[in-house]
Structure 1
């Protein structure tokens, strides 16, 4: 997967409530779904004179001005820094061939793919801060999708979401109950998600994670996933 594949897969598997093309900008209405669905992005040809229009469009939606900075956006990054925007949440993208993960499926009882999310999955997400606004993002995904219920020691242990965009699958909203962490539940959900994605036609499995989350990154790398891109946000 290339960085461009990652951006497109994020867009398809974690979609904004509404997209608006405004000059050189794509303005996203997030409706509480987080930064990925609320950040503006720039097309070629933008100028600093275009920035106030982007800011006004986001403020009209009741959102703070927020931009996603992708590979090739270095001039925009510098212009926003000069206007007092600060960097928030640098992100690293990981991917690997789906077979690298599906080759070692977890125990049958360790993770269950299904859709729509069971009540216990919604409860697990709510406990970890993933509320109905983010579940609404998952519900907007047009392609194949599933959520995963993890189990550990005969107890619900975690939840995750996987969406497909063509040959690319992406994992989102992976959460494990604090009392049951470091027991293999996250790995089981990832591998089960890869098995489901492969059966649905995916060739690649991917995810994005905040760069500061060292334990999660160590897990993904131990599973054979590789860094394939980066992005960050600038917040006014």
Structure 2
């Protein structure tokens, strides 16, 4: 899959809507302290060319923090990608960025009591996230975000069905942590929740709705493609086991 070059603004949107606990600088390397919040908040990034010795220093720092030796590779960082490959790093979780104008998804009225926006998330939403492995550490990431934000609750057949989180930065709203209960999947719940995210984004003045998805998550990629969202770039990680 060949993706278009990623506009650097999207990396800023990810940082703002899904923030790490803290950043440390080690020369040209930015270290992220994720506090168990996953790869996005724990991956190091290189802001310029770096040496093998600098990578080794960063590895030691990441291990001292109790984190994996993990780098995010952004567009244009082919040299870093090859360097890490030579040093024994494996490719992990290639990610696709999907975007659209909110108006693309606000052309249909959402049926009553199908979706709700609310902050803070309810206990049932925390339970739904937990079924997908999204625990307290990732919920803390959501709470750290400083901009406009909301959570989404989806219902189907009068029962809770799914949840998600949406944060806003600049003119872009980004959806994270979409989770549908297994027995409520393939019923259109994800479509209604994406439409609710678009309505919320439009109310905030957003000109764009974005979402990240691993290439391996075929179901979610089919969902976003079916909604006529556009692939606008992506990134991948390199990890040393």
Q: Is this a same-fold pair by TM over 0.5? A: yes
- 2:232 aligns to what SS in structure 1? strand
Q: Are 1:80 and 1:234, in contact at CA under 8 Å, matched by a contact in 2?
A: yes
Structure 2 counterpart of 1:229, from 209, 229, 233: 233
| CA–CA distance in structure 2, aligned partners of residues 34 and 45 of structure 1 | 25
Counting only pairs closer than 5 Å after superposition, residues 120-159 of structure 1 correspond to structure 2 as 120-159=124-163
**2:213 matched residue in structure 1:** 209
Provide the rounded CA distance (Å) in 1 between the counterparts of 2:110 and 2:179.
17
Number of equivalences: 236
Q: Which residue of 1 aligns with 2:95?
A: 91
> TM-score, normalised on structure 2?
0.95
| TM superposition outliers: structure 1 runs of 4+ over 3 Å | none
1:39 is matched with which residue?
43
Cα deviation 1:86-123 (Å, max 9, x = unaligned): 01111111001111112224213111000000111111
Partners of 1:3 and 1:230 within 8 A in 2: no
Q: Is the contact between residue 147 and residue 162 of structure 1 (CA under 8 Å) also seen in structure 2? A: yes
1:112 aligns with 2:116: yes
For 1:206 and 1:175, locate their aligned partners in 2 and report how far apart those are by CA, in whole Å.
16
Structure 2, unaligned runs of 5 or more: none
TM-score (structure 1 length as normaliser): 0.97
Quote the RMSD (CA, aligned, Å): 1.2
1:65 aligns with 2:69: yes
Task: Give, in whole Å, the separation in 2 of the partners of 1:196 and 1:67.
Answer: 33
